[in-house]
Structure 1
Amino acid sequence: MDEELRQQRVHEWYQLYSDEIYRYILFMIGDHDQAKDLTQDTYLKAYHSYDQFLGITSDKNWLYRLARNVTIDYIRKRKPIRFMMESFGTYPSKDNTPEEVIEMGEKVEELYRCLKKLKRSYQEVIILRKIKELSISETTEILGWNEQKVKNTLLRALSALKQQMLKEGYQHETL
């Protein structure tokens, strides 16, 4: 593969997807600085693995899969993992009152505390499908699962999240 083309493609991918990849990794580990490092590691891996990218999946899905693998490797090496409220990706608008902003932050923090207590496969499917709002087909490609497994795991994961939130004393009308 032509070195210049490889550099150009990886640079284009970085411009297009680095913010999304960063947020995905941040959801998984909850540390801004480490998420930045792992995002860079993901793009380094994309550069070095470029010849393995066959175009069978979309560029974006391939990068998510690389990011997932890089993050899992990091998680295996480092514990404990924590989520930070600001990683949720839902930021208060300027129309919210200070009380609403505080309440929103508390709800997000509680959600992440509960999400973090679920097993990793549940965390991943919830993050990809419900937080990142990826399609089922995109999720199957990233996780390497079939469609039915994604659907079944998501149902179980949402149920487990609801149970965990109730166990933690979280009361909300949407549960």
Structure 2
Amino acid sequence: MSRLSAEFDQIYMEHSDKIFSYIFLLVKDNGVAEDLTQDTFIKVYKSFEDFKGDSSIYTWIIKIARNTTIDYLKRKNRFAFFRIDQFRLESNESSPPEILLKNENVKILYDAIKSLKLNYQEVIILRKIKGFSIKEVSTILDWDETKVKNTSTRALAGLKRELMKRGESNEKAL
């Protein structure tokens, strides 16, 4: 096995689940997310020698995954989020009514995020759901850090407005 192949295998094992999860947030279809994850890692393999190390390998791969997914969505002329309520929330510490309330609050939050414009959705997903730093988000989206900060602030304000419009207090849904 070549050094590149062994290194790629390690990168794939370490990051493929996280990349799939990110793509799934955008396309809400398991099969499509699997295909796009595979396409992403084919692109990563083909361009691995071009990785300069200006960011973490994960940030670089997320950027490739984002571009691959956005290209797919443009071809399909749609953008969608998954509905959180189709997943079970498992917890050994919560009672069934608490679990139902958490699921409902998460659904409300995702419905509110889904109603925001695409730039706001992406920033919220990358910063608040996936936990990327401002610098990493600027790399992924090809924006300067100031734009990421400003868009994050506006996106969160828009999310709060949307939650208020829906009659939800921020604390309840967040």
CA distance in 1, matches of 2:86, 2:56: 25
CA distance in 2, matches of 1:172, 1:149: 24
Report the counterpart of residue 54 of structure 1 in structure 2: 52
Report the counterpart of residue 118 of structure 2 in structure 1: 120
| Residues 85, 108 of structure 1: 8 Å contact kept | yes
Q: Which of the residues 145, 157, 160 maps onto 2:158?
A: 160
Q: Which runs of 5+ in 1 are unaligned?
A: none
Q: Deviations over 1:29-59 (max 9, x none)?
A: 2222222221111101111222322222221
- Normalising by structure 1, we get a TM-score of 0.87
TM-aligned CA distance change 1:134 to 1:82, over 3 Å:
closer
Runs of 4+ in structure 1 off by over 4 angstroms are none
Alpha-carbon offset, residue 116 of structure 1: 1.3
| Residues 129, 136 of structure 1: 8 Å contact kept | yes
CA distance in 2, matches of 1:56, 1:87: 38
Report the counterpart of residue 31 of structure 1 in structure 2: 29
Report the counterpart of residue 82 of structure 2 in structure 1: 83
Give the 3-state SS of the residue equivalent to 1:105 in structure 2: helix
CA distance in 2, matches of 1:100, 1:69: 38
Q: Deviations over 1:41-92 (max 9, x none)?
A: 110111122232222222111101001101111111222523220699x944
Report the counterpart of residue 140 of structure 1 in structure 2: 138
Q: Residue type matched to 1:140 in 2?
A: S
Q: Residue type matched to 2:129 in 1?
A: I
CA distance in 2, matches of 1:13, 1:168: 42
- Size of the aligned set, in residue pairs, is 172
Aligned ranges 1:9-48 → 2 under 5 Å: 9-48=7-46
Q: Which of the residues 91, 94, 107 maps onto 1:93?
A: 91
TM-aligned CA distance change 1:168 to 1:32, over 3 Å:
farther
Alpha-carbon offset, residue 172 of structure 1: 4.4
| Residues 25, 81 of structure 2: 8 Å contact kept | no
Q: Residue type matched to 2:82 in 1?
A: F
Q: Which runs of 5+ in 2 are unaligned?
A: none
Q: Residue type matched to 1:115 in 2?
A: I
| Residues 25, 68 of structure 1: 8 Å contact kept | yes
| Residues 10, 43 of structure 1: 8 Å contact kept | no
The alignment's C-alpha RMSD in Å is 2.2
